[in-house]
Structure 1
């Protein structure tokens, strides 16, 4: 294959680039992980006549968007797939340069699946959903700290008041962001029906629907049901070898763990409050012998 491809390893402060030309890997080059650094990197890709780029999912889209704007085909590689590929290549060291080389080899050798750019509204909702999730986690931590502080008489009143104030402020931030997202959804004639369909499902309220939309809207819209399940890592993984090894099916977890987190509480709520789902949940436990967590995961799927 004569196509020139590149692998990009993204870290907090730097971006490491390796270019494969005519099947030969070049030396690694490092750029700052800033808008100016991205522009310099893209100029280097253009000079090398690179047409395809492989990079590992980093949770941020700023570099992906910059590469897409430059007219380059981008493949966002699942971290677990990248790890398995490195093992297959018998890689013994791990550095940014080695990771970038492996990503370039992955893009060169494996079936290329181009990244589909989400629209601006999808990216906005995704960013808000992640911020709300982070604030919820901080709120839970603060409530746990307050509970622990209340268990001892040695805790001064001003510290308890400070923790209470932090919780109140976090509640206000979460509600403000949530309302901002709801306003964005209400203003979009295509997204509003999708949101209403989500919240019509037992167990999914507005808060859960926002989290789910934040994950699902940035995925390709032409995915089938089985692909959605696989992207969430909820597909069963079979482990069988010969006649002596036949382990029970387990979740692959080879997908987006944030999507699994967003599905967990709605599934648990539906298993308690929806008669049909509850009957299925009890059947899985009592007749199929599944553990409670396994049955909840089946409901998530």
Structure 2
């Protein structure tokens, strides 16, 4: 008996910090979909080698090359995505929002690693994943900028924590002076490291005229500084994965979630299911923009009208700033305060 021709192969991957679950599915010419295997692997170099070998045993040579589909979850997917790309495999990294909507549309209520890997494979089967949907790693320059900006964020947190500790020491009863001196030296060291990173970031950015020009355009928004812009664009890889604002807002975890059931109506809040580094980078700029940026100050006041919790306005301004960065980056033009009037 002649076996039906396999026309599509998809590997759905649900990835975590220490391990990932894979589901290998194939579709034949009669639109019949079959699962060729599901298995868990360690998220380590050895685990990835075992995973690729496991997939190759199931791969049909006469069929199109399999597509490895995974979710953009923090940084945990990156090593596997690079590994597969370097082994000449097709990789598609999807935003969490897309996969969540797909699961909801298919009425999937159970959530386990195995179920999620099957759902991701089904997503890849249903969607037509063309060349534009395939993942390509960020350039070496973008990786350098991202690593520097993340270290900048880490050092800022260390400085804040150290200053809080120093404040407590100053107000404690007869704290040993040598300990206070050491804490001050630590803060001084962190600040010097921060200065080195900022200088290196500027050096890297200025080496690329086109990138530097785009950032200068975005800097025309009051409240957005050089470092903030760098942190955002490095986390989104120059917005390569995004085709619209809604996807971007969801990726940053700044999308609004409503809780309603019958007569119950809960408070609206942001999902926070996204890149926390983007939210962290935008918080203080949003506070500054709510005070000094005319348009965003008016917007902040409108959002907070009749509200006792003013943080709603700050979050709304964070979302506006993110949208502005995306828009000005795509259009490659500076911010115009009275744009609508013009």
Please list every run of 5 or more consecutive structure 2 residues that lacks an aligned counterpart in the other structure: 1-5, 27-32, 60-64, 321-342
Say yes or no: does 1:280 pair with 2:296: no
Count of residues in correspondence between the two structures:
296
Say yes or no: does 1:67 pair with 2:84: yes
1:1-301 pair list within 5 angstroms: 3-21=8-26, 22-31=33-42, 33-34=44-45, 37-49=47-59, 51-56=66-71, 57-60=73-76, 61-69=78-86, 70-78=88-96, 81=99, 85=103, 88-91=107-110, 94=112, 100-109=117-126, 113-220=133-240, 223-237=243-257, 244=263, 250-286=269-305, 289=307, 291-300=309-318, 301=320
Q: Using a 3 Å threshold, how does the CA distance of structure 1 residues 216 and 98 change in structure 2: closer, same or farther?
A: closer
Deviations 1:135-166 (A, max 9, x none): 21122112111111222134211211221121
Q: Using a 3 Å threshold, how does the CA distance of structure 1 residues 211 and 163 change in structure 2: closer, same or farther?
A: same
Query: Retained in 2: the 8 A contact 1:146–1:164?
Result: yes
Aligned partners of 2:94, 2:244: CA distance in 1, in Å?
19
My pick for the range that moved more, 233-242 or 165-174, is 233-242
Deviations 1:86-126 (A, max 9, x none): 9953437x4x6565445434444567554353222222212
Aligned partners of 1:105, 1:290: CA distance in 2, in Å?
45
TM-score by length of 2: 0.72
My pick for the range that moved more, 139-148 or 255-264, is 255-264
Query: Retained in 1: the 8 A contact 2:11–2:23?
Result: yes
Aligned partners of 1:225, 1:16: CA distance in 2, in Å?
30
Aligned partners of 2:308, 2:248: CA distance in 1, in Å?
23
Deviations 1:20-75 (A, max 9, x none): 344215141535612x5534533443443361112232415232122223231323
Aligned partners of 1:278, 1:239: CA distance in 2, in Å?
28
Q: Give the Å deviation of 1:82.
A: 5.6
State the secondary structure of the residue aligned to 2:214: helix
Query: Retained in 1: the 8 A contact 2:11–2:25?
Result: yes
Q: Give the Å deviation of 1:269.
A: 0.4
Query: Retained in 1: the 8 A contact 2:286–2:317?
Result: yes
Q: Using a 3 Å threshold, how does the CA distance of structure 1 residues 111 and 129 change in structure 2: closer, same or farther?
A: farther
Query: Retained in 1: the 8 A contact 2:36–2:58?
Result: no
Query: Retained in 2: the 8 A contact 1:25–1:101?
Result: no
State the secondary structure of the residue aligned to 1:204: coil
Aligned partners of 1:27, 1:269: CA distance in 2, in Å?
50
CA RMSD in angstroms comes to: 3.4
Please list every run of 5 or more consecutive structure 1 residues that lacks an aligned counterpart in the other structure: none
Q: Using a 3 Å threshold, how does the CA distance of structure 1 residues 205 and 77 change in structure 2: closer, same or farther?
A: closer
Query: Retained in 2: the 8 A contact 1:123–1:218?
Result: no
Aligned partners of 1:118, 1:226: CA distance in 2, in Å?
22
